[in-house]
Structure 1
Amino acid sequence: MINGVTQLEILDFSHNRISNDGAIALAKLISWHKSLQELKLCNNYIGSLGIEGISFALARSPALAHLDLRLNSYVGDEGGIFLCSALSQNTKLKSLFLAACGLGSKAGKFVGEMFKVNSTLLEMDLSNNDLTEESGELLNQGLIKNFKLQKLDLRMTNVSQAWEFAINEQLARNIANSTRNNINSNSQPNMKTIEES
């Protein structure tokens, strides 16, 4: 039924226990649907197998800009690594929510590496995952080369306050650059108007 809906922009399957099989079925939709911009899959017992399917589709998605996977505690490091691999290729996704998804330091390392190459993600929620202090350092290293991300939620991740402060400095730089770019683009004279006058 969903396959025939061409104008679908938001799909919310949260709290439906779709598990891996449902996630894999939805992955097919993500990979081809040209208008689907937001997908919410909170609290669905999705594990790394389902995330692998979603990640494969995400790397090819023509439109998806917002993905919410919060409260899927079986995602784990393996699922986090799949998502990071997809985000290293994806050029559409602007926000990804992974709060309480069972991510650990391995996933934290890959998130840091993904930050170095991803140029579209604006917001990411990693709260309530056991990333550890080492992950804080790796996330910060990734953000040194990332000029796009503006919001990163690290509450209850065991990332130290010192690393959170350093990360927030990188995010503030990105916000300032974005604001400056917007001001510059808005202040450029309209060439058509100049030619007409």
Structure 2
Amino acid sequence: MKFPNTLDFNTYQAYFCSRHLSNDENRQLDAINLEWDRNSPDPLKTLCLNAIANNWPTIPFFREIPLCEDRHYLLDLLDLDFPLEILCSRVRNDAFWKRAYVKRWKNRYPINIDGKPWIRIYLEQHITDTLENMKPGEFDQEGFQKLADLCSLHVKELKLNQLQPSTGESGDHIPLDSVLSNLRELRRVDITYDVKNAGHNFYLGCATITEKDIKLMTQGLERCYELTEFRLHSTKLEPTMMKRLASAMDKGCPNITTIAFPHCRCGDVGLRAFFEALSPDSLPNVQQVILTNNFLSSESILDLVHLIRRRPVEHLDLRLNPILTEGAISVLTMIFYLPLKELNLSCCSIDEQIEDFLLMTIRFNTSIEVLNFSSNPLGEAMGEKLVARVSENKKLQQFDLRNTDISPEVRAVIDEVVIKNRTPHSLSHW
């Protein structure tokens, strides 16, 4: 190998240390430390990008910058406290909005992103925080209209874990008609009128939904033409409220696939009121029905069976409802007419009289993938019969029999048989 014995002049200039400019004849190049010459000016391009970043509100240049590497450098320099209106209108870069989100919500990293752009994640969380912390008396129609105009193109999911209680006698919350009707791209709505940090304004019943609340919410729901999922959590719903909700979804949500009222205590009367507001052709695309803990009995289950057997329901959740064995038999008889994939009858006061119908379902049904009969006194004798039937079923992928008086050894055998039906993809899902 031949080593060079000369040094290019430009290379010499690049490594020439300015602090050694003296009359010292022993001065040397400092080629090991690349940070030795700190007095050298920044490149002109860097100075320009710094100037643009510092004056962004007055000169919001971004698309005008031709090189991608310069745009990325500018995004690293931008102050995240600049007005959100300017940032949203000029910047779509995922890395920038991820940096903005992580800085603002350090302890609330999103889950199940599923390829969503970070500007959407940021704005959905921004509007959620704004509405959850807004007191009813502070709601400004004009101010919210500006917020909706800013977020409407990006916000497809609205999840409100709480709403601030009213300090007045009416008990009304912020009006959701403006919220729902102005977010034109909404696909999923998840709301609870519960309260978690009422502070000094707490009083019994402060989280109770009022007739005015439900009236305004349903007026907004009628304009959610793109909505596919509606969930209302932990809110006491009267029969008149259930009727309003059904009418609003029938009128304004033709594409809805998921209806969920978990822990809403609507009872048999409330569920019947919901059904009475629907026609045989209403809500034709419903695939998920979630009615967890609503004080339902076997009487209302018959009405539910007659309604959903005309719809392509794939997921039915009735857990924590005392439907008894009679109600469970109605459900198991009905599922042969549905493409049902998941059925949850956990803690429904079902006893060993369900045996023949459950065995028939496991043997002949070809669509069920998930069955949950946990926390029901099915009896120890049913275990061995279930083992024989489960071995004949090649579709079932999960069968929950915890707290059913069936021995752990038998449940282990059933789990081992069911696991064999899972594909590698479904196995990773569980």
- 1:16 is aligned to 264
Deviation at 1:116, TM superposition (A): 1.1
- Work out the CA distance in 1 between the residues paired with 2:418 and 2:355: 17
The residue correspondences of 1:18-167 to structure 2 (distance < 5 A) are 18-26=266-274, 32=281, 33-61=283-311, 63-72=312-321, 74-90=322-338, 92-167=339-414
What SS does the corresponding residue of 1:130 show, helix, strand or coil? Answer: coil
TM (norm. structure 1) is 0.79
User: 1:52–1:9: structure 2 CA closer, same or farther, 3 Å change rule?
Assistant: same
User: 1:87–1:137: structure 2 CA closer, same or farther, 3 Å change rule?
Assistant: farther
Would you say the 8 A contact 1:13–1:40 is kept in 2?
yes
- Work out the CA distance in 2 between the residues paired with 1:119 and 1:138: 19
Deviations 1:93-149 (A, max 9, x none): 111111111011112431121111111111111111111112223322332332111
User: 1:25–1:116: structure 2 CA closer, same or farther, 3 Å change rule?
Assistant: farther
Deviations 1:157-188 (A, max 9, x none): 1111232122113202211xx459xxxxxxxx
- Percent identical among aligned pairs is 28
Q: Which has the larger radius of gyration?
A: 2
Aligned residues, how many?
175
Counterpart of 2:263, as a letter, is: H
Deviations 1:61-102 (A, max 9, x none): 2x2111111110x21110111111012332x11111111110
- Work out the CA distance in 1 between the residues paired with 2:255 and 2:292: 23
Would you say the 8 A contact 1:17–1:45 is kept in 2?
yes
Counterpart of 1:112, as a letter, is: L
- Work out the CA distance in 1 between the residues paired with 2:279 and 2:406: 32
User: 1:147–1:104: structure 2 CA closer, same or farther, 3 Å change rule?
Assistant: same
- Work out the CA distance in 1 between the residues paired with 2:292 and 2:373: 14
- Work out the CA distance in 1 between the residues paired with 2:334 and 2:361: 9
User: 1:57–1:108: structure 2 CA closer, same or farther, 3 Å change rule?
Assistant: farther
- Work out the CA distance in 1 between the residues paired with 2:376 and 2:343: 14
**RMSD (Å), alpha carbons:** 2.3
Q: Which moved more, 1:21-30 or 1:159-168?
A: 21-30
Deviation at 1:25, TM superposition (A): 5.0
The residue correspondences of 1:184-195 to structure 2 (distance < 5 A) are none
Would you say the 8 A contact 1:135–1:159 is kept in 2?
yes
- Work out the CA distance in 1 between the residues paired with 2:415 and 2:396: 11
User: 1:11–1:113: structure 2 CA closer, same or farther, 3 Å change rule?
Assistant: same
Q: Which has the higher contact order (CA 8 A, sep 6+)?
A: 1
Task: Structure 2: give runs of 5+ residues left out of the alignment.
Answer: 1-247, 426-430
Would you say the 8 A contact 1:102–1:130 is kept in 2?
yes
- Work out the CA distance in 2 between the residues paired with 1:30 and 1:93: 22
- Work out the CA distance in 2 between the residues paired with 1:30 and 1:12: 19
Deviation at 1:31, TM superposition (A): 6.8
